[in-house]
Amino acid sequence: MWRERKQIMIADDDAGMRRVIAGLISQRPDWELCAEAEDGEQVVKFAKLFCPDVAILDIQMPVLNGIEAARQILQHCPSAIIVTESTHDVAVYLEHLKAIGVKGFVSKERLRDDLLSTVDAVLRGKTCFPALVSVAH
């Protein structure tokens, strides 16, 4: 389904982080925030209703974590693009995230710098894990 503006859904248990992400999304006139969720179960329900172009999910959420939420969202909306975010080291999750179809990752510490470019990249069909540069030791 073609839409004039890309529909973006966010899920994070931290209301302040959701506000930051929503603010970043609002900078793009071609993107629209279609839903906000505070846990993984809620975001899966919203995904079934809205089938977003992009879902930005925190990996560590209550009720249902972001990895399992991503898996379920992709079952219901195979065309959705999943980008995860976390304060944790992505290297721990990387292979599992890629295996279930996640296309990008943004470290919460670099959210303001990397989120928009990561979402742009995944919308163009790329895989984008910019945090990997900083986690290699």
Domain boundaries, the chain: 6-135
CATH class of the region 6-135: alpha beta
* Residue 3: per-residue pLDDT: 57
- pLDDT for the residue 49: 95
pLDDT for the residue 133: 45
Q: How far apart (Å, rounded) are the C-alpha atoms in residues 52 and 34? A: 8
pLDDT tens-digit profile of 9-21? Answer: 999 999 999 999 9
CB 34 within 8 A of CB 52: yes
Looking at residues 32-41, what average pLDDT do you find? 96
Question: What pLDDT digit, counting tens, does each position of 76-105 carry?
Answer: 999 999 998 887 666 777 888 889 999 998
**pTM of the predicted structure, to 2 decimals:** 0.90
- Rounded CA-CA distance 75/106 in Å is 23
